[in-house]
Amino acid sequence: MNEKARKSSARPATSPAKSAAGRTAKSKKTNSAAQARAATATRRKSAPEPSGGAAAADAPAAVIPAVAVPEPLEVAPLAYENPAFLNGPDGRLIRIVSEYMEPLARFRREQIQDTVVFFGSARFRGRDEADHALELLDNTGSTRLAPREEQPAKAREIAEGQASTLQRKRAVAAVEMARYYEDARRLAQLLTRWAKNIPSHKHRFVVTSGGGPGIMEAANRGAYEAGGKTIGLNIRLPFEQAPNPYITPSLNFEFHYFFMRKLWFAYLSKALVVFPGGFGTLDEMFEILTLTQTQKLAKRITVVIYGSDYWKRVFNLDALVDTGAISPKDIELFQFADTPEQAFELLRHGLTENYLAAEIAAASDEDLMAGMTVEDFLAPEIAKTRK
C-alpha cells in the first residue's frame, strides 16, 4: 500500500450531517462578502468626484444671477483738494498751519520786513467827501447799513424836530468820526512817504489795517495815495463784508481764525496807532499792551493812542493805577496824540530810536551779513518771544 492510500485510510470519516453544516457556513461567508462589496460600490457611486475629474467635467455649470454693471467711478480727490476733509474737524490743523504759511510766503515774496498797524472803528464809512457826511454800518466791517433810526440825523431832521435823541447824538459823533477818518488818512500818508525813503532792500513800516471800512479804510487809503504798499488783514464774519479797495491786491488777506490774524498783527508790527473804536479796537489795543507789559515779545513797540478826549471818556487809567491794578510805569507804555503831525513825530522818534539807529550802527560792521542765511535776508522780520 502506498503512502497516499495509507493517509487516506488513516483520515477519520466525515458524517453526512457535518458535511452539510460546513457547506452552509461557507455559503454564509460568501454571501457576507458579496454584500460588503455591494455596499462599497454604492458608497463610491454616491461620493462626489474629485475636482477636475470626469464627473465634474460632465456636470452642468452653475447658473450665476445677472447683476448690473456699476457706473464708472470718478477719480478720487487728492487729500489736499478734498473740501469735505479740509473744511471739517479733521482738517483744522491744516487750516491753522495754512493761515501761517500762506501769509508768510506772500510777505516774503512782496519783501515786507515790518509793519505799523492802525486800529479803529469799522462802523463808519465816508458817504460824501464834500461835506464829510457818514453812514453808520450795521456791524463791524459789514457792508449793510444800520437801520434808519440808528443813523446820524441830518441837519434838516434836527431843525424840524424829527430826529430822536440817539440820532442827534450820532450826528455829533459823525462829525467827530469824520475828523478821525481824515486824520488817519493823513497820518498814513506822512508815515508812508517817510518809510519809502528809508534805505532798505525790503519795505519798511508798511501801513497795515484790519482791511475793512472806517478807520481801517482811511489808513489803507492814505498809504495808497502816498504810493506805498499797504496790507489788509480781513477776518471772515457771518455776514456780508468786503475788503476796502485801497489795499495792495497781493497783500489782501482773509482769515478764518481770529488768533492767527492777531499773530500777524502783533509779530510783524513795530508800532501801533489806536484810533477811536469799539470792542475790536479795545481788544487789539489791550492785547498789544499786555504783550508789551509782560515783555513777552522780544521787541519794543511804539503805541500811539489817537484822540485823547475820546479815550479818556472810555476808560480811566488813573483809576487802574490808584487801585494797584497796573503799575504807574505801565502808563508809559503808550502816548496820546491829537493831530496827525504829532502822532507822526511820536512814530518816527520811536521807530528810529528802537530800530533804525541800531541798524545804522550795525551797518558799519564789516560782518553785518555774517551768519545770515538767504531765508533771513528775504523773510519778514517776525518778532521772537521770550521764554
pLDDT digits (tens, 9 = 90+) for 316-339: 988 999 999 999 999 999 999 999
CB 266 within 8 A of CB 297: yes
CB 117 within 8 A of CB 272: yes
Higher pLDDT, 62 or 321: 321
pLDDT at 130 over 50: no
pTM of the complete model: 0.72
Q: What is the pLDDT of residue 244?
A: 93
Q: What is the pLDDT of residue 127?
A: 47
pLDDT digits (tens, 9 = 90+) for 214-249: 999 999 999 999 999 999 999 998 766 789 999 999
Q: How much is the average pLDDT of 36-48?
A: 58
Q: What is the pLDDT of residue 238?
A: 79
pLDDT above 70 covers a percentage of the chain that reads: 66
Is 95-125+178-378 a domain of CATH 3.30.420.270? no
Spatial CB neighbours of 163, under 8 Å, sequence gap ≥ 6: 153, 154, 157, 171
The residue behind cell 483738494 is 81
- Could you tell me the pLDDT band of residue 150, with boundaries at 50, 70 and 90? low
CB 312 within 8 A of CB 276: no
For residues 264 and 231, what is the distance between their CA atoms, to the nearest angstrom? 11
Contacts 24+ apart (CB under 8 A), 289-293: 289/330, 289/333, 289/334, 291/266, 292/333, 293/326, 293/330, 293/333
pLDDT digits (tens, 9 = 90+) for 269-295: 999 999 999 999 999 999 999 999 998
pLDDT digits (tens, 9 = 90+) for 353-381: 999 988 887 766 555 555 555 555 556 77
For residues 205 and 184, what is the distance between their CA atoms, to the nearest angstrom? 15
Domain ranges of the chain: 95-125+178-378
pLDDT at 129 over 50: no
